Amino acid sequence: MNKNEWWRGAVIYQIYPRSYADSSNNGVGDLVGIIDKLDYVASLNIDAIWLSPFFKSPMKDYGYDVSDYRDVDPLFGSLEEFKKLTDKAHSLGIKIIIDQVLSHSSDQHQWFVQSRKNKTNPQHDWYVWADPKPDGTVPNNWLSVFGGSAWSWDSRRAQYYLHNFLESQPDLNFHNPDVQQQLLDDVEFWLKLGVDGIRLDACNFYFHDQQLRNNPPVPVDAEQTKGVTGANPYSMQRHVYDICRPENLTFQKRLRQLFNRYPGSCSLGEIGADNALEVMAEYTEGGDKLFMAYTFDLLTTDYDSGDIRKIVGEVESTLTDGWPCWSFCNHDVPRAISRLKSDTAKTPAHANMLLALLTSLRGSSCVYQGEELMLPEADIPFDRIQDPYGIPFWPEFKGRDGCRTPMPWQSNKAQAGFSEVEPWLPMPAEHLPLARDIQEKNSTSALNLWRHFLAWRKQQSALVHGDFSWINSKDVKQTLLFSRKSDDQHLLVAVNISAEEKTIAVPAGYSNIHILASSGFDCSYNADQRQLTLPAWQLCFAQIENN
């Protein structure tokens, strides 16, 4: 594989800086805290780090409201400290991917401060402004992902401005060539600093319909938009005119041309849409747009084998030459281990099964800080909620704070070693027995099983970049059977997503099978009966010699 395509099959570890490690003891994680933990990160055997936003911001949406695209917020540190972080990560063989939130900025960004002054200033059309209807109401029926209308009134201009998210996150006007060029220059600023990749937040939200046509309603009984809570009226519209506009593809091509000038760099797109898998295929095909992308389909699954088979099958049939990036967990959704249906207490086997399944699919993988510790979703009381998305929809939707709580490093220290003071979100008591220091001492902990598996996976060419195909077998509830095949290796992968032992028949045509014991899972193969037997919450990796 071309060394510049390191991202193909890579395992990317997402760090949410506010909650990773607090070196300054102000209750908020920072860049120096991450630097101090990089040796630990390297021990996980991941390939890259994705850093959630650390740019200057008023923190209304905790960094996803940028007020300066080229500087570090003092809360997290300095640009010099970011350079030190990048240098140390590279010395450990870790690539760096950073977030770029291009669809919108903070209302405190100087561009918006200038734009809202009047209708004649040099940046008057850098954001999406529209006149009210004759009766003074909003220009159309577009809704914000975070609730309510996507339009807010500005008395200075006597116009409405568009915001697909918070009122304090006005949408940039990508129909303006100057806006496009400015954002390309801002992305290049970080590429020049040596980052290896850019994660593009809401990358299908850049353009809007210039005619401002109303979105149509969702037909009765249609599936709601992935990643959006059912309590949110946003899921009641088909988002035809506010996102996924055709002009977006042209801008993605301009971004790709920029990345191509920096060999070894890549882009990772976040796609939230009504038909997200189709959009992902469109945005990654042809080698001239996104390098890879992810949707919310697996991020919102409850791990029913039928749903996984359907989602993966659709990706395999539609992506053609595109490249997916799979995730079970990130900063936007409840933690993966808590979504796993099980009547028994979660064990390291559960976490190991989820990791192995995720990283055995064709594509790259994003894993989220704390998954290696098997951290469950935290239940944050309403008076401690910080997420502006969760507050208006409580209690049907409690927001994203439950997956953003601080990392527990040392069980016997105040705030589990994250900070010496009360952190910005409470340290859950149920996370203390799962702290890093406890798991380090146990060879069968989730943390050490994670390390063992990812070290083993790095040596399996079929899992890193091989082809994928489902294997037709007798359908056994809550099991999956597929193969991964590279030029020098052919693997059979069987998965048991249940609390019961499962026996899976291996179809005729697959012979000379032997179990790879070093995979760290417990399973057996009866060659006479052509059956794989998997205990609860287990995977089986079998080498196929003649297929």
* Nearest alpha carbon to residue 536 among 361, 352, 359, 377: 352
φ and ψ at residue 159, rounded to 5 degrees: -145, 165
Helices (H), 345-500: 348-358, 436-440, 446-457, 461-465
Q: How far apart are CA 334 and CA 376, in angstroms?
A: 8
Sign of the alpha-carbon torsion through 75, 328, 369, 96? negative
**Residue 201 designated active-site:** yes
Place of tokens 């996984």: 308
Q: What is the dihedral of CA 79, 72, 206, 185, to 10 degrees?
A: -30
First to last CA, the chain: 22
188 in catalytic set: no
For residue 531, the SS3 value is strand
SS3 state of residue 494: strand
DSSP reduced 3-state for 485: strand
Alpha carbons 269 and 289: distance in angstroms, whole number: 10
Closest by alpha carbon to 164, among 176, 179, 152, 178? 152
Give the other-Cβ count within 10 Å of 78's Cβ: 15
- The one-letter amino acid code at 276 reads A
For 383, other C-beta atoms within 10 Å of its C-beta total 5
Alpha-carbon distance 83 to 54, whole Å?
A: 13
Residues in contact with 418: Cβ distance below 8 Å, sequence separation at least 6, in sequence order: 19, 21, 22, 29, 406, 407, 408, 409, 427
CA separation (Å) from 406 to 263, 275, 327, 347? 35, 34, 20, 21
Other CB atoms within a 10 A radius of the CB of residue 379 amount to 11
Say whether the peptide bond before residue 426 is cis (omega within 30 degrees of 0).
no
Choose the catalytic residue: 270, 282, 387, 401: 270
Please tell me whether residue 441 adopts helix, strand or coil conformation: coil
- Side by side, the strands of the sheet bearing 197-200 are 292-294, 266-270, 197-200, 95-100, 48-51, 11-15, 364-368, 325-327
Length of the chain: 547
- Of the candidates 201, 274, 332, 401, the residue annotated as catalytic is 201
What distance in Å separates the CA atoms of residue 202 and residue 358, rounded to the nearest whole number? 22
* Residue positions annotated with a catalytic role: 201, 270
